[in-house]
Chains A and B, each alone.
Chain A
Amino acid sequence: MSRPTGLEVRSLTVTYGSGPKAVTPLHDLDLDVPRGQFLCVLGPSGQGKSTLLRCLAGLLAPTAGTITALGEPVTGPSATRGMVFQQDAIPGWLRVADNVALGPRNRRLPESQWRPRVDHFVEAVGLRGRERAWPRELSGGMRKRVAVAAVFANDPDILLMDEPFASLDHLTRQGLHRTLLTLWQETGKTIVFVTHDVDEALALADRVVVIAGGGVRADAVVPFPRPRTDDLRMDATANALRTNLLHHLGV
């Protein structure tokens, strides 16, 4: 039996500008993301990956088409769809623990409801002992950990991640992959993860879609068991899948 749908995208079109200078990164795009799936979205630069994610988050209204999240139409941002951004977006004026509590505290949820979650996710991302640190006192990787903890602590149903680890070095990125996968397996959230790195997609995803030319150019299941290690680079099936995805990326 198939899993219930977390996200449904139908005939999504986004056009920036008008007239001869109009640009349409997404045209008539359809996509279903089952609940609990870890989907990676690959694509060349400027082909609409981030545009798709912003539409899913409700930060950008599509020119045409519909998006539903857990059966509800997406009309704007919501706590049910958390997002981790590529650039540093955590407020610099909040200490680590306050940053992780930013969502639930300002949504005026009872502290008894969110405090244990905040403590748990601070611990889970490896920031125990740094709760009172300011973001400026943290490395780039640690700031990403704060953002990941903050989104999980807000308990959304769907996580949208826009190349969140792109600016980090390989080792830091691998550490964050492990953390993210642990949290995903623990919570069972639906994750849509945008990246331009095929290896990152193969390391993380249940499924990979390639977006180019306005629509979904390839859609592939990633069949490898977890935990996936660097040995995946030696695996013939994985290499065939990598080659296929790179082909669709135009590499």
Chain B
Amino acid sequence: MRTTPSLRIAAILWGAAGFAGLWALWELAAFGVANDAVLPGPRVVLWQFERHAGGDRGLEFLGVEHSSYGINLAWTVGTAGLGWLIGSALGVAAGLGAARRQWLRDVTEPVLFVFGAVPVLVVAPLLLVWLGAGPVGKLTLVTFYCFVVVAVVAQSAALNLPPAVEEYAATLGLDAAARFRAVVLPAALPAIVAVLRLALATGISLQAGAELLGPRVGMGRLISLRAQQGNVGEVLSLSITLGLVAVLLDTAVRAAVAPALRWQG
């Protein structure tokens, strides 16, 4: 169903009203608590952002390499993004490959079954202790998480294709490679895109979470230090900034794949 311009404007206005409502509730709650150390209001958080987004020399005395939001954001999102790219690419290849080849499914299914069932937060400390809290450990953690979730969903999406659709393509003379390209891949794409978006958001959260353990750079490290200082306003400012960047990246992914998913309406 096509949306008319007036419906789109209405949707934007409703979205804006939602934000305004949330802002008002937050202001109200902060006013009621009346303690910035417990729940600072949005204006306090904005003030903290303006004050420290460009950097804070005080943090550099505490062992942080660079204290500006930009560099730490780039580090956190860049590392998570790299892990997401590697893990997702491997996950899509493994999942779709396993859906098409029984022997590959026999190999990957037990691994994916075990790790797919174990919450990644359980595996995270093990991986970080094993590989260290440095960049390699975190990259491995995000890559591993993205690989598992993307592979499981890609395999199941390709296996859920109604058999008649591929048989129909076969009777039109499409060989296995053409069927994969023209039928299997487009059919699995919506589910793959959904899990890629989930993996990206969770990958950034995992990266920031792992940075709490004490590296010298990253948004997680800044959040950890500000929490130790009891600066809740700054913690919220850092968290919201990271969340907004994740939303922007998600919007970019959605925009990039929108032409391929237009058929869904």
Contact = CB atoms under 8 A, between A and B. Distances in A.
A91 B186 contact: yes
Contacts of B182: 91, 102, 106
Nearest to A77: B170
A90 B171 CA distance: 12
A93 B162 CA distance: 14
Nearest to A159: B171
Contacts of A150: 172
Interface in A94-147: 94-95, 102-103, 106-107, 134-136, 147
A215 B64 CA distance: 82
For the side of the interface on B, what is the size category? 20 to 34
Contact of B171 (A57, A95, A136): A57
A80 B171 CA distance: 8
A91 B165 contact: yes
Nearest to A76: B170
Interface centre among A81, A92, A102, A106 (most CB of B within 10 A): A106
A14 interface: no
A94 B173 CA distance: 17
A85 B172 contact: no
Contact of B169 (A78, A87, A102, A136): A102
B178 interface: yes
For the complex, would chain B's binding face be called helix, strand, loop or mixed by DSSP majority? helix
Contacts, number: 81
A85 B263 contact: no
Given A59-B167, A77-B167, A92-B263, A82 B172 contact: yes
B120 interface: no
Contact of B172 (A76, A88, A151): A151
B187 A93 contact: yes
Contacts of B164: 85, 87-89
B173 A89 contact: no
Interface in B167-198: 167-174, 178, 181-183, 186-187, 189
Q: Which 9 pairs show the lowest CB-CB distances between chains A and B? A: A79-B173, A103-B172, A89-B168, A77-B170, A83-B171, A89-B164, A106-B178, A93-B263, A93-B186
29 contacts: A57-B167, A59-B170, A77-B170, A77-B171, A79-B171, A79-B173, A83-B171, A85-B164, A85-B168, A88-B164, A89-B168, A91-B165, A92-B263, A93-B187, A95-B263, A106-B173, A106-B178, A106-B182, A107-B173, A107-B174, A107-B178, A134-B263, A134-B265, A135-B263, A136-B263, A147-B168, A150-B172, A151-B172, A154-B172
Given A78-B171, A91-B183, A107-B172, 15 more contacts: A80-B173, A83-B167, A85-B164, A87-B164, A88-B164, A89-B164, A91-B165, A92-B263, A94-B263, A103-B173, A103-B174, A135-B263, A136-B264, A136-B265, A154-B172
Interface of B: 162, 164-165, 167-174, 178, 181-183, 186-187, 189, 263-265
